[in-house]
Structure 1
Amino acid sequence: MTDLSSKLVIPTPAAMAAATEDAMLAKATKPWFEMFLLSLTGGAFIALGFIFFVTSQQGLGAPFPVGPAKVLGGVVFSVGLMLVVVSGSDLFTGTTMTVMPLLSKRLGAGRWLGHWVVSLVGNFIGSVVVALLVLWAGTPSSNKSAWGLVVLNATLGKVTLTWGHAFFLAILANFAVCLAVWMANSGRSTADKILAIVGPIALFVASGFEHSVANMFMLPMGWLVKNFAPDSFWQGEAITKAGVTLETFAAITPGAIVFDNLIPVILGNIVGGAVFVGVYFWACYIRPARKAAAEAPAAVADTEATPGR
């Protein structure tokens, strides 16, 4: 009974920091091919969450309140991170916390950067594959083209952000995402982990913050809809009612996707996850613990050298 009770106790914050560093080290030292495979599903699962988000937003508008609509979208999007956490997939935004074992000198800089590159590339491929599957499935034309219209409007909004706005929105996004991962790590059951994830993820999505891996799905999806949706899509009731045409979305280009969104968002996500969460909690808990552990032998030796002390 005692063993069961101990397993249900939530770790202290200091223990959580140590456990998170250990988990980040384990991720960064996996065999390269295994790391790549897990990063594919990291991108694919976040894409599934974004599909759920888009589906939840179809037809929402006046008189439906904006706030509850955004919160609804955030809650359903959190399914993506739930899948990532429970499956052990590799998501770049969470991977930014590998700065913790790097600071502790348990991880070399080459391996650290290599993991980031593999994670980014794998996430992108996984996200784009899901976007292609959605296009080929004809989903953008569903509900009289309402589904595709949500994608186009969201994509247009993202690629027309200024670099400054995209960067700072990305800091906030990964601040929330890494805190969600951090709290999920404290869960003693699947239900605990799911509950821990919902709040921070709903917060960042509802607030319009920018997540690089989510955008690796949404932005290519918008570009695919714009360029490859059939003529019947543009004749859908939702499109005609909105009064938009192909030219309305002329700003959705590969250049805009990469240079006006993904680059500043990736950089902002790195700051939000690596600095605001990883470095911060390393300084709060790991560094003091390592310092105390290093000083302990010296203190013991000093005491033994002066018995009367």
Structure 2
Amino acid sequence: MIDAGASKVLMTARDTVIRAYMGGAILSLGAVFAVIVGVQTGQPLIGALLFPVGFAMLYLLGYDLLAGVFVLAPLAWLDKRPGVTGLGVLRNWGLVFLGNFLGAITVAVMMAIVFTYGFAADPNQIGEAIGHIGESRTHGYAEYGAAGMLTLFVRGVLCNWMVSTGIVGAMMATDVPGKVIAMWMPVMLFFAMAFEHSVVNMFLFPSGLLLGVDFTVLDYLISNEIPTVLGNMVGGLVFTGLALYFAHRHTSGAPVLAREAELETR
């Protein structure tokens, strides 16, 4: 994890944005797929079961999500890797955010064209469903004021706790089936429980705006995206990155070394 974080921080701006752009786009397509399946079957749980397809695809292709760099990049700085600075970590986060957002917006425009026959008709059933998600997740939180924002933040924390667990699980596995299974379980959990993922929302809310749903860009940013990003950062970094770092960074080899020392004395 530390090595991966260092490589991401030291990557060129061009490569970082390209990887993040493709990551945001593929995850958005996975979200569309999940909504389509949920609407067609009338069973949102089936959509949640299938949503991790997009996540697995982007991970195996080596693309990046904001959820992942929130976890990995700071560990390289904390471990004092050469060339990794606090500003470098923030630069990486900013570039990945930009790339994810551009990729998600691209898919939002494409799918809005699909849902409306090039904006020549009203949104179809899938388009309406996606639009209503954005509406309920802005006005729905805002009507509760500070309590709504706290709820949104906590959902963001829980989301990236699960997503980042999937990322680490994939790093542990040594073959493609193992990586997919390790990612699938926690990612399915977050989607089924309607936690808030900043990159998924980069697709859902612009889609709603393009499809004419009743909320504004300011509603989206203040009543969803900003609290979600902060929650995702805390959830991934604190509950996955730092927890694993302090649990294993200086102790991972200790049991093995102790056992070897014991055997040498016999």
Give the structure-1-normalised TM-score. Answer: 0.74
- Classify 1:214/1:169 alpha carbon distance in 2 versus 1 (closer, same or farther; 3 Å): same
Structure 2 residue identity aligned to 1:123: N
Say whether 1:33 aligns with 2:14: yes
RMSD: 2.1
Out of 178, 187, 199, the residue aligned to residue 213 of structure 1 is: 199
Q: Is the 8 A contact 1:175 1:272 kept in 2?
A: yes
Q: Is the 8 A contact 2:115 2:127 kept in 1?
A: no
Say whether 1:78 aligns with 2:46: no
1:95 — aligned with what?
A: 69
1:259 — aligned with what?
A: 222
- Mapped partners of 1:139, 1:287: distance in 2: 56
Structure 2 residue identity aligned to 1:111: G
Structure 2 residue identity aligned to 1:258: L
Higher deviation after alignment, 278-287 or 108-117: 278-287
Say whether 1:156 aligns with 2:103: no
Q: Secondary structure in 2 aligned to 1:171?
A: helix
Structure 1 residue identity aligned to 2:221: V
Q: Is the 8 A contact 1:170 1:265 kept in 2?
A: yes
Out of 125, 130, 136, the residue aligned to residue 102 of structure 2 is: 125
Q: Is the 8 A contact 1:73 1:202 kept in 2?
A: no
1:283 — aligned with what?
A: 246
Out of 151, 156, 159, the residue aligned to residue 165 of structure 1 is: 151
Q: Secondary structure in 2 aligned to 1:196?
A: helix
Q: Is the 8 A contact 1:123 1:213 kept in 2?
A: yes
Q: Is the 8 A contact 1:45 1:83 kept in 2?
A: yes
1:45 — aligned with what?
A: 26
- Mapped partners of 2:8, 2:26: distance in 1: 18
Higher deviation after alignment, 186-195 or 47-56: 186-195
1:183 — aligned with what?
A: 169
Per-residue deviation, residues 204-243 of structure 1 (Å, max 9, x unmatched): 00001000000000110111111xxxxxxxxxxxxxxxxx
- Mapped partners of 2:250, 2:11: distance in 1: 25
Per-residue deviation, residues 277-298 of structure 1 (Å, max 9, x unmatched): 11111111114469x8xxxxxx
Q: Secondary structure in 1 aligned to 2:23?
A: helix
For structure 2, list consecutive stretches of 5 or more residues without a partner in the other structure: 142-147, 255-266
Per-residue deviation, residues 83-106 of structure 1 (Å, max 9, x unmatched): 221011011101111121111111
For structure 1, list consecutive stretches of 5 or more residues without a partner in the other structure: 1-19, 62-68, 227-248, 293-309
- Mapped partners of 1:222, 1:50: distance in 2: 14
2:235 — aligned with what?
A: 272
- Mapped partners of 2:85, 2:168: distance in 1: 23
- Classify 1:280/1:139 alpha carbon distance in 2 versus 1 (closer, same or farther; 3 Å): farther
Structure 2 residue identity aligned to 1:145: N
Structure 1 residue identity aligned to 2:173: G
Taking the TM superposition and a 5 Å limit, the aligned residue runs for 1:231-250 are 249-250=213-214
Taking only the aligned residue pairs, the percentage that are identical comes to 28
- Mapped partners of 2:125, 2:40: distance in 1: 7
2:90 — aligned with what?
A: 113
Structure 2 residue identity aligned to 1:204: F
Per-residue deviation, residues 56-111 of structure 1 (Å, max 9, x unmatched): 122554xxxxxxx2331212211121122101101110111112111111121111
Q: Whose Rg is larger? A: 1
Higher deviation after alignment, 210-219 or 133-142: 133-142
